[in-house]
Amino acid sequence: MNKEYLKTIYCLFKKELMSYFNSPIAYIFIGVFLVVGNWLFFKSFFLIGQVSMRGYFDLLPWIFLFLSPAITMRLWSEEKKSGTIEFLLTLPVTDWQVVWAKFLGALSFLFISLLLTFTIPISMATLGNIDWGPVVGSYLGSLFLGGSYLALGLFISSLTKNQIIAFILALVGSFAAFMLSAEFVLMGAPNFLAPILKFLGLGSHFYNIAKGVIDSKDIIYYCSFIFIFLWLNVKVIETRGWK
Amino acid sequence: MIEIKNLTKKFGNTKVLDDISLEVKRGEILGFLGPNGAGKTTTMKIITGFWSPSSGSVKIDGIDVVKNSVETRKKIGYLPETVPLYEDMRVYEYLKFIAEIRGINKGDIKGRIKEVVNDCGLSKVLRKPIEELSKGYRQRVGLAQAIMHEPDILILDEPTTGLDPNQITEIRDLIKSIGKEKTVIFSTHILSEVSATCDRVIIVNNGKIVGEGKPDELAKKAGSKELIYVKIKGPKNEVLKTLENMDNIEKASVKDKETDEIYGYEIEPKAGVDLREYLSMTVMKRGWSIFEFSKRSMSLEDVFKELTK
């Protein structure tokens, strides 16, 4: 991997990130994300009266479940529909570079949205003593969880020209991947399957990291999940013109 | 410069390209002529590395477009038929992105964009979002994008469709001026365009090359053939039968109709035979009469029709 390779990714990435902010959708998106998240959280925060963000990070996977597919739905399907994919993939770039750029662009957008929620822990720190370990862990976990949703959504977007279909399938796919390790699924699953499902589900790893315990197992799990879907994405792009 | 060998492309069981071989030299303007669906666009998509061939190979300066796609793409500027552009970007923003991704040095980007904007006449719309541009301006932005990195090879898929006559002339002039130093391949189904701009013409039909040569050569080849148009009063079927059975006639067909009795016929005589006298005698003998008689040489259009039937 040389400098020129990375420079090309950076150049594509810049264009991807810019295209979010070129449309009003980005601002609406961030606005809704902040309002819904904060409102749902603070609704119960003052009732419970604890200086903890646990409630917020219990909510976050569910908010992400809707927001991530909204970020990724157009990434490939729009290129396919408008034909710009032909322009993009006749530039001197590899399929991998394009997929990385799109993924990193989406992740950065999610990161920016997440950064803006940092007002919550800051305002909380003025109210009382806040335990920063779980807060930092939860943010990190959110980024990994979000990244996994995005990788999955990006892959699904490459399968269709239709953004709505991409959104719905990504939502269903992310939900399934998250719920694989949910309590009630594990209880209902046969004994030998339960630990496997627990490992495969996106949710269990998120709650591990959110506790503030950063285990390499969870990190490797998320990185592999992301990588597998980026790889599948590249494979789908490679089959263009096979019909 | 471009070497295409036994190129075949299949979609399922249908062959879109069937064993095409051709070579394009440096500095040549090659016109790709053919009806819709003949395989022009498919060939271009393979040369540019967007699609991969089912079999056969394309090499650019000896480099394979499948194995080393990134290298060959650097040498090519490509304008797809549909002129896909990023609608939400502004023209300047878009051109800057192109300049960067094409690896133009940071210090040279501004200057190069200025040159391209001048060449393509884009200075009026630089700050506009692409989605607001007219068809003509879109085409120019597409062209600007293709020539940004001064590629050795320019591939343009029907660059003049949807433009008004002035814009067509402009684009043709631009192609000609670029073609002085660079290799240009462009496709079209407008025949006059080919004779106006190309050094060489390839005619494709059903995925095969059916004709090749310089435009004037093709026209000359065609020009040696003559067509006779004759309007005869007489029973249609009988006249046609008589004409078809005459010596020295390749083909005869009904061209138009004036009344129930008077029809116009088009006759293609064997090369080098002057049929006029014999023809008029034959018609007189049968008791019919000739109302009109004219002779013309075959145009490029007739060649095209004949080859792509």
CB contact under 8 A, A86 and B84: yes
Which of B43, B63, B70, B83 is the mutation pick for testing A, counting most A CBs within 10 A? B70
CB contact under 8 A, A86 and B50: yes
Chain A contacts of B88, Cβ < 8 Å? Answer: 19, 22-23
Tell me if A9 is assigned to some domain: yes
Give the full edge-to-edge strand order of the sheet including B226-233.
Answer: B249-257, B262-269, B226-233, B289-297
The whole-angstrom distance between B201's CA and the closest CA on chain A is 25
Scan residues 181-200 of A and list those with Cβ closer than 8 Å to B: none
Cβ B200 vs Cβ B226: under 8 Å: no
At the topology level, CATH places domain B2-214 in Rossmann fold (3.40.50)
Residue A26 has pLDDT above 70, yes or no: yes
Nearest to B70 among A11, A87, A92 (CB): A92
Q: Which residue of A has its CA nearest to B84?
A: A84
- Residue A209 has a pLDDT of 87
CB contact under 8 A, A92 and B71: yes
Cβ B59 vs Cβ B75: under 8 Å: no
Cβ B86 vs Cβ A84: under 8 Å: yes
Which of A90, A98, A234 is the mutation pick for testing B, counting most B CBs within 10 A? A90
Residue A24 has pLDDT above 80, yes or no: yes
Which of B15, B55, B73 is the mutation pick for testing A, counting most A CBs within 10 A? B73
DSSP-assigned states of every residue in A78-111: HHHHHSHHHHHTTSS--HHHHHHHHHHHHHHHHH
- Residue A59 has a pLDDT of 87
Does the CB of A24 have a partner CB in chain B at under 8 Å? no
- Residue B111 has a pLDDT of 94
Residue span of the structural domain in which A98 resides: 3-238
- Residue B234 CA to residue B256 CA, distance in Å, equals 14
Tell me if A212 is assigned to some domain: yes
Chain B contacts of A22, Cβ < 8 Å? Answer: 88-89
Tell me if A243 is assigned to some domain: no
Write the pLDDT tens digit of every residue in A49-104.
Answer: 777 888 888 888 999 999 999 999 999 999 999 999 999 999 999 999 999 999 99
Q: Among candidates B99, B93, B86, B81, which has minimal Cα distance to A84? A: B86
Tell me which of B270 and A115 has the higher pLDDT: A115
Tens-binned pLDDT, residue by residue, of chain B (309 aa): 899 999 999 888 888 899 999 999 888 899 988 888 888 999 999 999 999 999 999 999 999 999 999 999 999 999 999 899 999 999 999 999 999 999 999 999 999 999 999 988 889 999 999 999 988 889 889 999 999 999 999 999 988 887 788 888 888 888 888 888 889 998 987 777 787 788 888 988 888 888 888 877 776 666 566 778 888 888 888 888 888 888 778 778 888 888 888 888 888 887 777 778 888 888 888 888 888 888 776 666 777 777 777
Mean pLDDT estimate for chain A: 90
Q: Which residue of B has its CA nearest to A96?
A: B70
The whole-angstrom distance between A11's CA and the closest CA on chain B is 6
Buried b (16+ CB within 10 A) or exposed e, A204-215: bbbbbbbebeee
CB contact under 8 A, B48 and A90: yes
Q: What is the mean pLDDT of residues A127-147?
A: 89
Q: What is the band of A230 on the pLDDT scale with cuts at 50, 70, 90?
A: very high
Nearest to A82 among B11, B84, B102 (CB): B84
Does the CB of A235 have a partner CB in chain B at under 8 Å? no
Chain A contacts of B103, Cβ < 8 Å? Answer: 4, 92
- Residue B222 has a pLDDT of 61
CB contact under 8 A, A19 and B86: yes
Phi and psi of B247, rounded to 5°?
A: -65, 155
Joined tokens for residue B60:
């650019």
Q: Which residue of B has its CA nearest to A92?
A: B70
Angle in degrees, CA B39, B43, B49, rounded to 5: 145
Joined tokens for residue A210:
């959110």
For chain B, domain boundaries: 2-214, 222-307
- Residue B224 has a pLDDT of 61
Joined tokens for residue B217:
């050569």
Chain A contacts of B87, Cβ < 8 Å? Answer: 82
The whole-angstrom distance between B98's CA and the closest CA on chain A is 9
pTM, whole model, 2 decimals? 0.86
Task: Identify the residue whose tokens are 């462009």.
Answer: B186
CB contact under 8 A, B89 and A22: yes
Tell me if A155 is assigned to some domain: yes
Helix (H) / strand (E) containing B113: helix B109-120
Chain A contacts of B74, Cβ < 8 Å? Answer: 92
Scan residues 86-105 of A and list those with Cβ closer than 8 Å to B: 86-87, 89-94
Query: Widest CA span of chain A, in angstroms?
Result: 61
- Residue B299 has a pLDDT of 67
- Residue B223 has a pLDDT of 59
- CA B242, distance to chain mean position in Å, is 38
Chain B contacts of A237, Cβ < 8 Å? Answer: none
Nearest to B82 among A83, A91, A94 (CB): A83
For the domain made up of B222-307, the CATH class stated in words is: alpha beta
CB contact under 8 A, A243 and B50: no
Write the pLDDT tens digit of every residue in A179-211.
Answer: 888 878 888 878 888 888 888 888 888 888 888
Chain A contacts of B84, Cβ < 8 Å? Answer: 82-87
Chain B contacts of A240, Cβ < 8 Å? Answer: 50-51
